[in-house]
Amino acid sequence: MIPWLMLAQAAVLGAIGAVVAIMGLARRPFGDLVFGAAAFTLLTLVVQTVASIIAPIAGAGPSGDLLEYWTYLLTALVIPPAAVLWALVDKKGEWSTLVVGVGILACAVMVYRMHQIWFVQVA
């Protein structure tokens, strides 16, 4: 894993999530911008998944619990599609954009926690 990449990913997702959440609080409807933010979040998590598969094979495994790390990663992979599905079902609702924003913020926190498990936490 690349430490600065994980921290940058957490920071960027946190900023994107905050913007989308503020848009939701301002009652902006769910649209292409919000969908794109969720898609970008999912893309970064897929890249994280590929790197997480390759790193232990290359000999750079996590310092913490591998099961805990994968639980965080797989859960984070489910959040953006679930939030978008919620938003699409409730497209006329006033909270759909906020749900996606909070989901992206949750992914940012989970990526930061994954960083801690991989590099900081000692099993």
Q: Read off the pLDDT of residues 26-70 as tens digits, 9 standing for 90 and up.
A: 999 899 999 999 999 999 999 999 999 998 888 887 788 889 999
What is the C-alpha R_g of the chain?
15
Of 57, 17, 56, 22, the closest CA to residue 37 belongs to: 17
Q: How far apart are CA 101 and CA 69, in angstroms?
A: 23
pLDDT score at 123: 55
| Alpha-carbon torsion (82, 103, 65, 115), positive or negative | positive
Quick: pLDDT tens for 87-97.
Answer: 999 877 889 99
Provide the token pair at 3: 């430490």
Provide the token pair at 115: 């960083």
